[in-house]
Structure formats: C-alpha cells, structure tokens
Structure 1
Amino acid sequence: MTHAVVLGAGSWGTAFAKVLADAGREVVIWARRPDVAELINKTRTNSDYLPDLRLPPTVRATADPAEAISGADLVVLAVPSQTLRGNLADWAGHLEPDSTLVSLMKGIELGTTKRMSEVIVETAGVAADRVVVVTGPNLAPEIADGQIAATVVACTDMDRATLVQSSISTSYLRPYTNDDVIGCELGGAVKNVIALAAGIAAGMGLGDNTRATLITRGLAETARLGVALGADPLTFAGLAGMGDLVATCTSPLSRNRTFGAHLGRGETLEQAQRATRQTAEGVKSCLAIRDLSRAHGVEMPITEQVERICHEGADPRAAMAALMSRKPRPE
C-alpha cells in the first residue's frame, strides 16, 4: 500500500504530516530519535516541537528510515538544509522508482551554493521533474492549529505539482501550483536572512519603519539574485516571495526573527543558539547566499551585513550604519 513519508520530525515536518493526514493520506514520520517516534505512536504528540498538536490516527512514526520509505509514493524531506546531502545519501537506495520527492527546506547549501532541489537531484540521482518544492508563509504552529493559510507547490512537471497540491489541500491550507522552482526556492531561502535582519533591528529597539524598509529592500535584493539565476521576477510578488517574507519578518513564531532579536540585544551567536534551541536556517544560509550573490555579481547589502554580524562578530549598530551610509541611488 502506498503512503506518504515525512523524513524529519521537527516543527514543520510534524505539522506537514498532519496536513497530509487531514487531506486523506496515510503518513509515516521518520524521527531521528527512537524516543520521539515512540512518543508519537503512544501519545499522538511530538512534545519537543508542537506539544499542543494531537496527530490523527492515520499518522505513525518510526526511527527506521528504510521502513519509513518502503512503499512511499510521496517522500517529504524536512531536515535542516545543511544535513540534507548526508541524510539523503543514506536514504536514496530505499526510494521507490517513480516516487515524488517533496522539499520543505528553505536554505542554500554551504560550499556548493546549491538550492535544495539541486542537492536532491544530485544526491538521489533523480530527474529534476520528480522534485517538488513546498514554500510560502508556513509558520508551523499556526498550520498545526488549523489556522487559514496558503502555500506554493513548485515543480517543472505540472502534473506532479498538481498531485502534491491535491495531497495537501485541506479546509485550512490552500496550495497554489507554480513552475518557477528557482524563484520559489530563493524566496524561501533569502527570506530567512532578511528575517534575521528584521529581528536584529527589533532587538536594537528599532520600529516599524525600519522593519518595512528591511522587508522591501530585502525583497529587492532577493529578486535581483533570482533574476540573475533565471527566476521569474513576478514570483517574488507572490506567496513564495513577499508572503513568506512578511510572515517571517513580523511573526514572533519565526525562528530566524527570534534568533536575530537575540543578536540585536548584544548576545553572541552561541548565546542566541542556546536561547532559541532550534535551527535558524538563515544563520548558515547567509554565508552561502553571500557567496552565490558574489559569484553572479549581484549586490545584496542586507545579506552582507547579516553575514558580518553572524560570522565576523560585527556590531549590529555598525552594520546598520554601514547600510545607511551606502551611496544614494534611485529605487
């Protein structure tokens, strides 16, 4: 019997398993830790990430990836971006021949500057049209709670995109298809870096004008990079661009914004990591995105300053001053 598997039992992976189940799918969650899998099976909850969510009876969990993947026609990848290649190398041999691989990850790989769909194609040895990207304003606790939201399902194969769309359509989640995989992935990756900047500004005590400036200028630098890589600029005006950016830069549920606020209050990277206890993808992705932008000759001043704060120990106030002292130019 076919089923969907979600590889990763973090907040978004767990919430996405609920979405699949609510849309009528049998779902297996793979958890790295056996105790998490056991807890899900016994209590229907994942107390480490979404303690208030009770998973439907059509969801079960295992710590055995081979067992989880066996027979799955829909394989959802929900691990931290920088661990994808290593994990997928171990899992690829268990994939069904024509299964659809769904990426929930929003990052750029360090070293290679590859998007997550590119890493999947390269590591699993599958055709690009087997990979579907789900992105947009996807704050996991709200979706787990059944609050109204929309998302984007991007794939170069529209039949496969439509398959995933139907597999996650519920009364509370409305998915839209899109064939611009490059734009959708970049929107999801760069918004984490801009959200760090928004959080840093909030931690410094700066207000709504600053946040609005960072959101709009952050969108501009995202679109510049996207166009250089072949994305459709209109993508960035939609859910995968502006929608995701607004949610991540403004919500207290955003891990990247929250992490940034700790940095803005003068905490070190290590102190912020201890305080948040979850992965803020933008911290590592800002390095890869900076490298990607430089390789393509694209100016990304907000990304550059976030990287300096996170990895070079720059003072947030000095970084903000550097942004404000840039040469005046037309918008």
Structure 2
Amino acid sequence: MDQTRYRKVFITGALGFMGRALSAQYRALGAETCGLDVRADASANVVAGDVSRPEEWQENLAGCDLVIHTAAIVTNNVSREEAWRVNVLGTRRVLDAAIKAGVKRFVHVSSLAAMRFILEDQADESAPVMPTGNPYVDTKIASEQVVLAAHSAGEMTCTIIRPADIYGPNSRPWTLIPVQMIQKGLFLLPAHGQGVFRAIYIDDLVNGVMLAAEKDEGIGQIFILGGEVATTCEKFFGHYYRMMGKGSPRMLSTSTAVAIAEVGRMIFKLLGKPTELGRGAMEMLSKKNTVSNKKAHDLLGWYPQVDLEEGMRRTEVWLREQKIIV
C-alpha cells in the first residue's frame, strides 16, 4: 500500500508484535498513530490501560477515524473468566469507546483459532464455528459475535480479520517461544510433525489488515489471512532447529504428545511459571485441515508476497542480530 484514507489511527495492543508493525506502516504513510497497551510508551504515543475499562483511556480516541483492535490474551493456558474479560468484554468496551468518540471504522483482529475445530478442508469464512471449552478458542468466537452485532445494529462500520500463524521478528507465539523451548529441550510436535501449519509472515499480515481497513469491500466482512501454501509443523519448526544446529524436532503421536505436554503444564503451574505447554497447544499443532484465502483475493486483491524460505531467512537475520541465537 502506498497511501491511506485515515488521518489518525488508534491501535489497542499497540506495543505488541502486530500493533507495532501496523503503527510503523501507518506512520510511514503519513497517518498519526496512538494507542493503548498494558504499559505506556510516550515516544510511541501509547497510553497504559485496560481494554475493559475505557474510562482510563477514552479521551485518547479524540480525533481518531480508525480503530484496530489487536489487544487480546493469546494463550491456551488461561482461566475462562480472564479470557472472557479481556477478549470479549474488552472488545465490547473498545467498541463502545470508539462509537462514543465518533470513529468511522473498526477493525477487529480475531484469530484462525476460531476455526480450530473445523474439519472441512479449504474451509472459508462461511464455515460454522464450534465452541469446545478451550477458553482462547471460545472467547475468540464470542468476540467476533460482539463485533458482528455492533455492525449489524448500525453502531459501527466493522471488519474482522482471522490471521493464521504469524511469524517473523518479535513474534512471541511462533518465533520467540518455539526458539526458547527448543533451546531448553522442551519442544515437541504431535501428529508425528504432520500437522498443518498455516504460516504467514508479519509483513503480509499487516498489508492484509490495512487493505481490509482501507477498502469499502472490507466493510462488514470476515477475512482469513494465511500463508498461500500450507506447510507441515515438521517443516516450519525445522527451520528453527537448523538455525541453531539442533537436528530435528521431537515428533510423537498426538496422544503421547498431549500426555507429556499436560504433565509439563502441571509442573509449570505448580512452580507458578507461565507456559504454553498443554493440550491446547498440541491440538493446535495436530490440525490437518487447510483454509482458503480466496475471499481476501477476490475482495481485497490481497496475496502473500513472502514465502516461507524468505520469511525464515529474514527471521534468522533478526534472531542473530538480537543475539537470541548465535
């Protein structure tokens, strides 16, 4: 993209992986950016606050004509109550604040996790989603309903994005955490490594989000944004192993991987330490179905430009520059 229709953009989760990338791109196009996160950063025009308590930060929406809501709890190991407070109630509160401030457009970043338990191959945005008791999955589904309800009621012009597996410099779930777990010898793959991984490089994701926000064709729509070519978990995470000279991933049956991961989760819980080990992660990495980008192609003209080899090359450069790997 080489231009934007927006003068001032407000981003929740503005200091996160996606929030920073979106802010940088909008500033490069001449828009003013501001935002909200759990901590403040005056240099980035970001205030501290809680998405479920807009009275703390409502005034910072003044003059904004676009809100991009990326803030969320992104983990499978979270209580249902906390996931609902942030991911569902928080979404409604951000919507309320945007409506009160007279914002013109609202883009909600959901997740392909909302479709995690769909068995259909090449599933698209019309596929019915299924809550299953996983707090992250269920609250992502519920947050979408909040946004669709606001749009259908005429409260706000909305768009929903379902990103796939976003990797690249600063990606916590699909770059930093896997690398750290591999370094500690804690990484394992279910489904003998043959689960489908729908990798999308951060630059491609940012471009898709911005096209959905800028184009009238994105109004009232849900868009899947994933890598154009699905790969296996063995191939994707194998890149990190090769970067570190670690051989290849430990690949097990799904039932064995779930059992080991659950034991690991309980140990970390007893120690009072956070972890992504557990059943939820193993279910995610054992998925075999693919999804379709066709709607984003047809309505937005969006196509990923960075393939896995190039994306991993860029990611390795960054990991070495940051001395995360040597």
Q: Which has the higher contact order (CA 8 A, sep 6+)?
A: 2
Q: TM-score w.r.t. structure 2 length?
A: 0.42
Bigger helix fraction: 1
TM-score after normalising by structure 1: 0.41
